Structure 1
Amino acid sequence: MNKFKRHISILLAVFMLVALFSGCSNQNTVNPEKTENLEQKQEQPLEAKTKVVTNLDGTKIEVPVNVERVAALFGPSYEKVYILNAEDKIVAAGDFHKNGWPWSNVIYKKLDSVVVIENAHSSLNIEDLLKYEPQVVFYFPNPNAVASINKAGMVAVPMASTGKFEDTKDVLTLYADILGGEAVEIAKKYAEYFDEKVKMVTDITSQIPKEERPDVYFSNQEILWTAGKSSDIVEVIELAGGNCVHKDIEGGSKNEITIEQLLSWNPDYIFVDHAGSSGNASAEEVIDEMLDDEQYQNIKAIKNDNIYISPTGVFFWDSGQQKILMLMWMAKELYPEKFSNIDMLEELKYFYKEFYRYDLTDEETDKILRHLNP
């Protein structure tokens, strides 16, 4: 009997051990479907909140992925944001945008109601700007102000340049990369238009020998202020088929020269732009002042009545996205017979419809080309 009980006890013990190990084995068995789902979940990266864009000077800038609020404080920045169909994202603009270019008040949809930052280009008040909570601030290349903007928690995107005409399309691409969405495709369309028109002009002007090219002088705001070799205006003049008389002087877009220097260059053509905003004399006044001064009367451009005011429209043609129009317009003024195929009325209408989403009337188009207000 005792022997029988011992056998029963051993069997029960074996049975319990088998049951125990079997249970442990079942608990450790993992459902393959659950494992696969877990791995997939772990492989999915967290959604990025920022992205890095590269400015034209190679500087890396970290901006929010979803940019919904911007301050357009740099001179041409409002135009760029508008072209990219993101005017609704502008929460503040430079004070000069409001009344600097009357055509912009006609073309842009919300300029008259947008908040302006006083003295945005010269003495930016960071506290004032912070009230409107912009994520990104398009600004001038002022290192101190840029540092203050970044320190305050906003992201500054300062103007940068390589001094090349292609900057005109590349800076729009930069803005598009920051704004995202449909802006990227709009910038691509602009770049295609830009390249097409440059080719159209240079297919002709590249065949003109240097000795047959007229001497061209470009006046920036005042008659004795001109562009240096670091400015792309020099390139624009050369692409248009002119010989830029000031191509070797140092500096960027605005450099003061002497009247003696201008007289020695004795240009065949004079073009005037960037005048008439922010309280400066208009281009007409600049030219009238020169014509009233006997010192200028022997310049070939004056004697032959070859002085031209660059059209403006929503912004200066020498600084904004309309600079591609300036190239065509300048080439046609220098070589009307070679560029008889260019109809600036039609070019202007197309540009405004395609990039500003505005249908110019014949009267409006004529006024812009003749440098008249609306």
Structure 2
Amino acid sequence: MFQKSMKPAKNIFLTGEINCGKSTMINSILEEFNIEYTGFRTIPYKINDIHMGYAFKSLVKGMEETPPISVKLKGMKPFKITETFDYFGTLTLEESLKSKEKVILLDEIGVFESEASRFQKIIRECLDSDKICVGVIKKKENSFLNEIKSRDDVLLIELPKIELGKHAKIREEVSSFFKFLVNDNNRGMRIMKKLNKRIAFVLTLVFSVMIFAGCTGNSKEGNANEKTITVEDQLGRKVEIKGDVNRIISSYYVSTSILIGLGLQDKVVGIEKKAKNREMYKKCAPEFLKLPAVGTGKEINVEECIKLKPDLVIIPTRLKKFIPDLEKVNIKVIAIEPESLDSFMQTVELIGKATGANEKANKFLDYYKNTLDKVSKLVKETKNRPTVYLGGTDNILKTCTGKMYQNYMIEESGGTNVTKDIKDGYWANISVEQLIKFNPEVIYVVGYAKYTPRDVFNDERLKGVDAIKNKKVYTFPSKLEPWDFPTPSSILGMLWILQNIHSDVYSTDDFKKDAKAFYKEFYNLDVSDEEIGL
């Protein structure tokens, strides 16, 4: 386990509903102190004076461009431009960290950067630095936003949506805290706890008045909705779930695995096909072997689902065409698409919230994030990034594209995925000539493949490839479950890659220890070296 460190707060974020005065308060405090600062702002993106979305405005000298971060076309939902964050945004904050300014403005951190892994990483570096970060954070929920809000070194203040003049007391406290941080950083740290309590007291008074007014005005409606939650699935659909979720159908191996990790196997009444082939089910949820098979990653049996009377059905987004048929009979459906590190964490968070397993979901996500941080720090100690190729199910010429979760696993673990620039679909077929041209230093064969590393070594067409010449073709473990799938155990897949290509910073013994601890912690399983593929 990796413990969260306790740090004094030196970063301030305001949150709240739209137009409650967050940016206005931050800007007025910065003006009050007449202090130089760097960072970025989010501004309207206009074409011919027509509001088309939002843009990124760098406050770094020489970076006057304002590239869009989202664009909304008529009749369509806004679409985010992740590249703006990952390239222009990352460069802005890299320069901000190097600058002489003590303060970095982050206005605002929201939902558009949910898949911008490079930008998220530099945000973390800013918060970890000796700079003071002040900014605005969206009142939304996803894994990245929740991570920032829960940091020990972040003072988070939610502004109620009232007349701006009534924010004066809160502004006074924030300004006071900011003054100590700017003028005497060490002294500010020492009095942080006292100021936190004062601010919390002011906010409690404000919220108590608001809540009391709301309750006296509409108490009956509050009671009626007491057990209702609303989640947003990975199609962007708002799904309202009333009452407890006690009967769950999962037509997708990924969501079924997550349900086991969250301790919800007793509530599952229907699952995907081929359950009898899964060793993990035999060990952790043997009852699954007798459950009705309702579908696959490509289809779902709606009639069978209806017979099982579920409170919730979980499907992959590619099965969205079946949602209307299920909703016609009042069955709640959430769709998931965990094909990147961030979207996988969002999937776990979504399932945890929809099923009432928030505590276990958060516990796993904390472990996941801490392990990713550990991997990132170890990768920084390495001197090179070996080129890696992942062979898929049918033959060695089937491989993962840059859109797949496996791509992120390789890249995060200190390798370079030679097929990362293939963006068409998910699993892709390439030619022998392409594989020879890629010339990977390491080849992995998925554990569920119809061929073995021996077959790859014996393929005369590929004898000139470095990985084959140097005997670096491996089966991707484990025997319990595939670690290259976007499931809870995928974090072990990243650790395995790390020990395979960077054993100088992370040994096989280190990996064994971490893998066995993971299964004990989240599945109460004692596993052998053989079961984890060693």
Q: TM-score range by the shorter chain?
A: 0.7 to 0.9
Distance 1:42 1:267 in 2: 65
Alpha-carbon offset, residue 203 of structure 1: 0.6
After superposition, residues 160-199 of structure 1 pair within 5 angstroms as 160-161=337-338, 163-180=339-356, 183-199=357-373
After superposition, residues 63-82 of structure 1 pair within 5 angstroms as 63-82=241-260
1:369 corresponds to which letter in structure 2?
A: G
Distance 1:63 1:185 in 2: 18
Name the CA shift for 1:187/1:293 in 2 (closer, same or farther; >3 Å).
same
Name the CA shift for 1:173/1:325 in 2 (closer, same or farther; >3 Å).
same
SS of the residue aligned with 1:366? Answer: coil
1:80-110 per-position Cα deviation (integer Å, ceiling 9, x unaligned): 11111111111111122x2232232122242
**Alignment counterpart, residue 437 of structure 2, candidates 261, 264, 268:** 264
- Matched with 1:60 is 238
Distance 1:138 1:42 in 2: 34
Q: Over the residues paired in the alignment, what is the CA RMSD in angstroms?
A: 2.3
- Matched with 2:228 is 50
Q: Is the Cα contact below 8 Å between 2:281 and 2:289 reproduced in 1?
A: no
1:136 corresponds to which letter in structure 2?
A: L
Q: Is the Cα contact below 8 Å between 1:70 and 1:89 reproduced in 2?
A: yes
Distance 1:102 1:257 in 2: 31
Distance 1:42 1:293 in 2: 73
Q: Determine if the alignment matches structure 1 residue 100 to structure 2 residue 277.
A: yes
**Alignment counterpart, residue 214 of structure 1, candidates 382, 386, 393:** 386
**Alignment counterpart, residue 358 of structure 1, candidates 525, 530, 534:** 525
Distance 2:326 2:297 in 1: 13
Q: Determine if the alignment matches structure 1 residue 301 to structure 2 residue 473.
A: no
Distance 1:203 1:232 in 2: 21
Alpha-carbon offset, residue 244 of structure 1: 1.4
Alpha-carbon offset, residue 334 of structure 1: 0.2
Q: Is the Cα contact below 8 Å between 2:235 and 2:335 reproduced in 1?
A: no
Q: Which has the higher contact order (CA 8 A, sep 6+)?
A: 1
Alpha-carbon offset, residue 294 of structure 1: 0.4
Alpha-carbon offset, residue 311 of structure 1: 1.2
Residues matched between the structures, number: 315
Name the CA shift for 1:57/1:126 in 2 (closer, same or farther; >3 Å).
closer
Distance 1:332 1:120 in 2: 33
Bigger shift: 300-309 or 122-131? Answer: 122-131
Bigger shift: 192-201 or 310-319? Answer: 310-319
Distance 1:317 1:42 in 2: 50
Alpha-carbon offset, residue 202 of structure 1: 1.0
After superposition, residues 80-91 of structure 1 pair within 5 angstroms as 80-91=258-269
- Matched with 1:17 is none
Q: Determine if the alignment matches structure 1 residue 237 to structure 2 residue 410.
A: yes
Distance 2:478 2:312 in 1: 27
1:41-87 per-position Cα deviation (integer Å, ceiling 9, x unaligned): 96342332532112245332222341111101112121111111111
Alpha-carbon offset, residue 197 of structure 1: 1.1
Distance 1:313 1:147 in 2: 38
**Alignment counterpart, residue 289 of structure 1, candidates 426, 445, 455:** 455
1:145 corresponds to which letter in structure 2?
A: F
Q: Is the Cα contact below 8 Å between 2:499 and 2:508 reproduced in 1?
A: no
Q: Determine if the alignment matches structure 1 residue 138 to structure 2 residue 314.
A: yes
1:78 corresponds to which letter in structure 2?
A: T
Distance 2:270 2:392 in 1: 28
Q: Is the Cα contact below 8 Å between 1:227 and 1:251 reproduced in 2?
A: no
Alpha-carbon offset, residue 237 of structure 1: 1.2
TM-score by length of 2: 0.55
Q: Determine if the alignment matches structure 1 residue 324 to structure 2 residue 491.
A: yes
1:171 corresponds to which letter in structure 2?
A: T
1:190 corresponds to which letter in structure 2?
A: F
Alpha-carbon offset, residue 331 of structure 1: 0.7
Name the CA shift for 1:365/1:109 in 2 (closer, same or farther; >3 Å).
farther
Q: Is the Cα contact below 8 Å between 1:73 and 1:121 reproduced in 2?
A: yes
Alpha-carbon offset, residue 146 of structure 1: 2.5
Q: Is the Cα contact below 8 Å between 1:267 and 1:300 reproduced in 2?
A: yes
Distance 2:272 2:520 in 1: 25
- Matched with 2:422 is 249
SS of the residue aligned with 1:76? Answer: helix
Alpha-carbon offset, residue 286 of structure 1: 4.0
Alpha-carbon offset, residue 260 of structure 1: 0.9
Distance 1:207 1:347 in 2: 19
Distance 1:61 1:81 in 2: 19
1:214 corresponds to which letter in structure 2?
A: P
Distance 2:234 2:218 in 1: 38
Distance 1:253 1:272 in 2: 16
Distance 2:463 2:353 in 1: 50
SS of the residue aligned with 1:176? Answer: helix
Q: Is the Cα contact below 8 Å between 1:93 and 1:114 reproduced in 2?
A: yes
Q: Is the Cα contact below 8 Å between 1:79 and 1:314 reproduced in 2?
A: no
Q: Is the Cα contact below 8 Å between 1:328 and 1:342 reproduced in 2?
A: no
2:329 corresponds to which letter in structure 1?
A: A
Q: Determine if the alignment matches structure 1 residue 368 to structure 2 residue 532.
A: yes
Q: Is the Cα contact below 8 Å between 1:79 and 1:315 reproduced in 2?
A: no
Alpha-carbon offset, residue 313 of structure 1: 4.5
More strand by share: 2
SS of the residue aligned with 1:62? Answer: strand
After superposition, residues 118-129 of structure 1 pair within 5 angstroms as 119-129=295-305
2:254 corresponds to which letter in structure 1?
A: P
Distance 1:315 1:341 in 2: 19
